[in-house]
Structure 1
Amino acid sequence: MNRASDRTTRSRPGAEPAELATLRGWLRAAKGNLTFYSLARRARGDGRPEYKVSEYTLRQALDGRLSTLPTTLAFARGAGADQKKAERLWAAADRAVNPPPRRPAPYVPGAFTTPAGLVRAMNRVRATAPHTSLRALADRAGPGLSRSTLHRLLSGAPMPTAGQLAAFAAACEAGEAATAALLAGHRRILDGPPRPFRYGCAEAEWAAERRYRDEAARPWLAEPERDWYEQQLHDEREADYQRQIDEAEALLDELEADPHPAGAAPSPAGRDLRAELAAIARAQPIYDAWIGRARST
């Protein structure tokens, strides 16, 4: 008889559960005047192995400890009692003697912002679930999450979608708070890091400081003031230079308007005038520096 899968209370508690006392009283009433030898012989009457039990084992069913379910069913069979009722009474006594472990409070994740933080939060939510195996979670999550998919998501590759995350939280019975925290962290990861805050007053202060520096440097960039004599010399030099430019341009126009055969070489006068204009152009920066004119870029 296989007893490994059944739980048995090895020590009698100080305060016996009422369900256990009810089961023992029902078995004692079903036994009546039968001996334990007769019970064991009648239980294995058809030779079925699951009802092959000894007299000593049947005697233990009445000594105050919770017997195994096969022993209880064999006792009821040997006494000719209702085996389904015996099974119901045994299940009630088993729940009273061996209550299920108390489930820890569901874990509510904090404000994580990285995929690694999401994986840690999912594993901690799974640890507080009523059923933590991947098979049980996959059965409760539905067709969208298989065991292999859950294993990959809980390992960090790839990152789950919002639908998969909601199905995972529902399978873990995480509750509304934990589900909302998981989805909020998922959105933060997809949105990326927050943009830096721009302080408007700091920009205004920077612009004011820049304007102050420019105004302080303006006197050094301006041309120095001239007296009336220096200004008169400057104007005369400027007028003389402009007159030379005008005369050269007028002469160049006359030479270009003079017809000459195609392919003929330009006249010596044209060559001399062009050379003079090139020299004037090369001397322009030097002249500007000499008369103090600001160069244009």
Structure 2
Amino acid sequence: MTPVPGPTRPAGEPAELATLRGWLRGAKFAAAPAARATGQRATFQYLADRACASGTAYVVSACTLRQALDGRLPTLRTVLAFARGAGADEETARRLWAAADRAVHPPRRRPAPHVPGRFTTRAGLVRAMNAVRATAPDASLSALARKAGPGLSSSTLHRLLTGQQIPTTAQLAAFAAACDAGETATAALLAGHRRVLNAPAPPPFYPCAYAEEAEARRQQDEDARPWLAEPELDWYDQQLRDEEEADFQRRVDEAEAHLDELQDDGQAQHTSPGAGRSTGAGAGTDGAGAIRLRAACGQ
């Protein structure tokens, strides 16, 4: 069927959409002989009546068929109903509509998959996973969960991407596959994941930290005190000052209590009955260490 020329195609309109509209006009024009044979004219109402008589899948109004020629992309259902009412080839209608749809709604160009750099911390792993997710074709949690399979639900992905949970190797590999990350990005994620898992344990607690922090705060307050002498503080500033001093005193008390516990533990080990069966050097080491620790902390 030869498309019937219509009005001039608007600037910027895809040629495929103009082709579809011309084909629909041609189908309507070609239906005129069959309409005259029944004493009717090939109006939009005539096409709608014939389409509706073919079944519920083709139920359409005359207004909808008229709007299919107004320059916008009609739905596939409308185009097929138009073809059925005009007695035109529906496969051709489907093919022309698909070409017009691709021209009007071109697929979104996906950015190149993100390849993470080197990271060694859990925070770095979380940042890398979110960067990989940002370049996924569909970055929604539900879509990623569907593609990842049963091992990763939407809630699990949320915990992994917010740092609440560290992924297993299998979970991370499934996440990368769901994001279509590619071999290079997947290898970088897994290598960083191994570094995070094999990182050394954090240093042990330093007993003098409380005391040193309290001393630093005290010195800072002492240095600032001459500047705060004048003018006299108002009620609000005085309340803030009282809260700061109370916080400072609380830190000092915590440090002293902690150091006292260390000294008491050392003395208990030194005086316990089992201490005499230990070597002499070892028995007195803990008590002496606690005393040296207290001295080092300025107590």
Report the TM-score range of the alignment, normalised by the length of the smaller protein. Answer: 0.5 to 0.7
Q: Please tell me whether the aligned partners of residues 40 and 58 of structure 1 are also in contact (alpha carbons under 8 angstroms).
A: yes
Letter in 2 for 1:36: F
Match of 2:88 among 64, 68, 81: 81
CA distance in 1: counterparts of 2:138 and 2:179, whole angstroms: 7
CA distance in 1: counterparts of 2:143 and 2:178, whole angstroms: 8
- The equivalent of 1:20 in structure 2 is 17
Letter in 2 for 1:54: A
Match of 1:30 among 22, 27, 30: 27
Q: Please tell me whether the aligned partners of residues 148 and 174 of structure 2 are also in contact (alpha carbons under 8 angstroms).
A: yes
Post-superposition offset of 1:173: 0.5
Match of 1:48 among 46, 50, 56: 56
Distance 1:41 1:127, change over 3 A: same
Post-superposition offset of 1:13: 5.2
Q: Please tell me whether the aligned partners of residues 53 and 71 of structure 1 are also in contact (alpha carbons under 8 angstroms).
A: no
Aligned residues: 183
Post-superposition offset of 1:37: 2.3
Map residues 1-297 of structure 1 onto 2, 5 A cutoff.
14-31=11-28, 32=30, 33=32, 34-45=42-53, 48=56, 51-55=59-63, 57-192=64-199
CA distance in 2: counterparts of 1:53 and 1:69, whole angstroms: 15
CA distance in 1: counterparts of 2:55 and 2:111, whole angstroms: 47
Post-superposition offset of 1:94: 0.4
Distance 1:13 1:100, change over 3 A: farther
Post-superposition offset of 1:49: 7.8
- The equivalent of 1:283 in structure 2 is none
Q: Please tell me whether the aligned partners of residues 47 and 62 of structure 2 are also in contact (alpha carbons under 8 angstroms).
A: no
Post-superposition offset of 1:39: 1.2
Letter in 1 for 2:43: T
Aligned-residue Cα RMSD (Å) equals 2.6
> Which TM-score applies when normalising by structure 2?
0.55
Structure number with greater Rg is 1
> Which runs of 5 or more structure 1 residues have no equivalent in the other structure?
1-11, 195-297
Letter in 2 for 1:89: L
Post-superposition offset of 1:82: 3.3
Note the alpha carbon deviations across 1:63-116, whole angstroms, 9 max, x for none: 433222232122112112233432232122101111122212222222222112
Fraction of identical pairs, as percent: 72
Note the alpha carbon deviations across 1:164-199, whole angstroms, 9 max, x for none: 1111111101122211221121111112159xxxxx
Letter in 2 for 1:142: G
Post-superposition offset of 1:47: 7.3
Note the alpha carbon deviations across 1:203-247, whole angstroms, 9 max, x for none: xxxxxxxxxxxxxxxxxxxxxxxxxxxxxxxxxxxxxxxxxxxxx
Distance 1:108 1:170, change over 3 A: same
Runs of 4 or more above 4 Å deviation: none
Q: Please tell me whether the aligned partners of residues 53 and 74 of structure 1 are also in contact (alpha carbons under 8 angstroms).
A: no
> Which TM-score applies when normalising by structure 1?
0.55
